[in-house]
Structure 1
Amino acid sequence: MSTVVRLAQSFDEWRAAARELIALGVPPADVAWQSRPGDGDLFSAAPDATDTSAPLLRLPRPLVELLESAACFNVPDRWAFLYQVLWRWQQGQHDVMSPADADGARLHAMVKAVHREEHDMHAYVRFRERPECEGAPRFVAWFEPVHEVLPQVARHFARRMGATSWMIATPAASMLWDGTTLHAGPALMQGAADIDDAGEALWLTYYRSIFNPARVNADLLHSHIPSRFWKNLPEGGIVPAMLSGAANGERRTGQTASVGQRSGATMIPIAAERAQPVREVATSLDQCRRCELWKSATQAVPGIGPAQARIMLVGEQPGDQEDLAGLPFVGPAGALLEQAMQEAGMARDSIYLTNAVKHFKWEPRGKRRLHKTPAQREILACHGWLEEEIERVQPQVIVALGSTALKSILQDGAASMTPLIGTPVQHAGRSVIAAYHPAYVLRAPDESSRRQAYAVIVAGLRQALRLEQDSHHSVVAGTSCPSSRRA
């Protein structure tokens, strides 16, 4: 078949063309995508409109969202690549959504880069106030995004800035907010120098006054704000001189030269290492960077269950499916655990399920991501999140599914499963029960071993129920008659 040319200048145009091509059964190799009219091949042809044997295109919402985000990634072959992903999905190759797949890995990397660019625009767009002029926006900002994320970012600022009018200009386009409606338009500026801001001098004076040379960390400053943003930040023009001053002696006194020159001011020598600020720890699991596992994981996977569950089950770490879904115990091991819970008489919706390590640690094996046991340093790095869950949920009984969970709960790197199976231990006022992880059952070499390991899990869950009921009865008995307790 001759090459089919399709024009796509936006995601909506690409989606309409892709639907037509999928319905006509045109493979990716036979499609040439162009971003501007007139770029087509003189020998290209239209597809046979009578060929409609392909099934109706139906996509899961997560795939649509991935494609829509990846469409903002600014590379020449993006439309061809997205059509290849779409074609593979329609052919039944659903692993194209997995980061373990080559195309899936590229798709997720594109989406991640686009989201990062959106975050950078949220953080580094600087609005400058313009002189009042009827019909003109009150605030104007200039930004040079790597990817085409201006519409999404404009919606973000429209929600945050209320009825105040503003405009964000980029080299390719601009977005104007008039207080009620967003308007898209062509590029209207050449750079940040085109913006006249009378208040910028006041801002720079304030910035200089809060600058502490004794606490400056140039490497950290540049790692937090990539160099490509500095040229368009108002303070970008004065930071190099302030860093130079800090390196040339102001760091020793902890104050700028202008402060030391004031009448009556005293120079107070301090040690630079003692002037370093206390760095804030991560305030949410998604922000956690205490170990390296977040770099290869799709997302952190928190626990799930009732706010005050009396029994908590703690596994090792998320698996491949848990990593993609963002929920614990939803893969094959989760299905086996649910079967064991039913056999033990334990209702899943009354139990809090979580893992000792919150990011999926894996190694590539062909197109698959295979589980890799977390190292002790990674267990320790994640222990704070498990402690926070235990403190919040306040379970009476904790079932450690596997040795990783046991080591984390007991905070003992030498803790062993075998001596504790069937023998609950008290730790921090709670009963801790050791049982095999469901994945251990799935990996057992023969049927006899699988039955034995599965029986240990069921017995551990039943034991947890008995201990929870005994604890509940003792609490009720101890609080139902205060007068007898005093006697």
Structure 2
Amino acid sequence: MGGTAGGVSAAASAAAGRPVLVHSFEQWRHAARDLLAHKVPPHAVQWISHKDDGDLFSQGEEPQPSGAVQAESKSTLRIPRQLMDMLQSAACCRVPNRWAFLYLVLWRWQQGEKDVLSAADEDGARLHAMVKAVRREEHDMHAYIRFRERREDAGPPRFVAWFEPAHDVLPQVARHFTSRMGKVSWMIATPEASVLWDGATLHSTGPLMRGPEDIDDAGEALWLTYYRSIFNPARLNADLMHGHIPTRFWKNLPEGALVPEMVSQAAAGARRVGQTHSVGQRGGTVIPISADKAQPQRDAPSTLDQCRRCELWQHATQAVGGVGPLEARIMLVGEQPGDQEDLAGLPFVGPAGQLLDRAMAKAELDRRTIYLTNAVKHFKWEPRGKRRMHKTPAQREVDACAYWLGSELEQVQPEVVVVLGSTALKAVTGNPHATLKEVLGKPFMHEGRWVVVVYHPSYILRVPGEDMKAQAFGVLVDGFRQARELAAPVALA
């Protein structure tokens, strides 16, 4: 087509009111030279390109300007290398009317407006932005493309990769990998175009609608195992990680499927475990190794006394675990140990514990048959004079202790859990947005056991007015009675 329909020159097409058709930089360059030679202004040209023509890797038929035009172009059209390089790079940027914009820049330069190359100029700024976007996409494609090895009996190419570039950078990237991978055959597939390297020649194979599937790549399995082993939850910064690797790349990265689970585990307490001491143990110098044998040996979880999952241990006397029979039908979960609990190492021994005992006695509940614990195992406090005053734990501290509370629930297997206050409710249900108002005094099932929600004894001690204290104490007693009834054995009919 030579940049226009039927081999007609670009200038003739523009003069006849017909659009100039291009789909590659070379076609645009020849058409632009012809238009400039005939002094056709940008507003008189309509540029179009068909989506089905492929990306800039495609090479259509080149325009054939007349000999007179060729001679005139050689004598008058002098384009500096810097401008030509920028135009060629910007031509890869997928923006509306890119060919018309590039011709506008070229026209302005030809008219003596040299500031069109300046980033301070409106068109110059847009040109610089397009070049920057393309170069950034080239860099990202170099960094985030992942080749997968096919079976030897599958034939060439040996390695295949799928990528979804935002701009037409496949030709530049393909040339990069031909020099990096030597004579090994490979293919890069994209939705717009694909390239195949047979070890000597680069071929354009057309667009693909989806990436290669069902490839049993042992090397990829080993890489994923290694990626898990080097992940250090103690140094995780999810925002920074997503800032360095744009979200659109994660879905095509093999390790992208692992990241959400590892981030979730880090938030749930693995952050304090730290990194493994070794990345697998194997003898000799044998290179082939299966992914399951490469799994590193990690340290066992630390004991509660050695817990460093959050910062509360630094200012507490000791960690306070749960107490009570491991076969208890009822478990009480409070917020955190108080001042006296922190010193004694036992839950509910201070003023709140004494009020708890009175409520249990009124509800005819024997404390010796109940397992008592807290959502957070260290005392969080702030100084006020010579006293240590209680401070509500943050959600991150509740999440850090979720490991220990989960272990207690798993070990005791209570039929009923009585949660004392909002913090305990959030910890037991795993819902940071849970509130007392919706479930207070209304037992509900959660993970196969009954949950009864009541006020925390310390709230009853703080609430002003005898009437309000009596009302809150009544809620506590009623909750214990509900728990006793729900935990009572049911006779078979």
- Give the TM-score taking structure 2 as reference length: 0.49
Larger Rg: 2
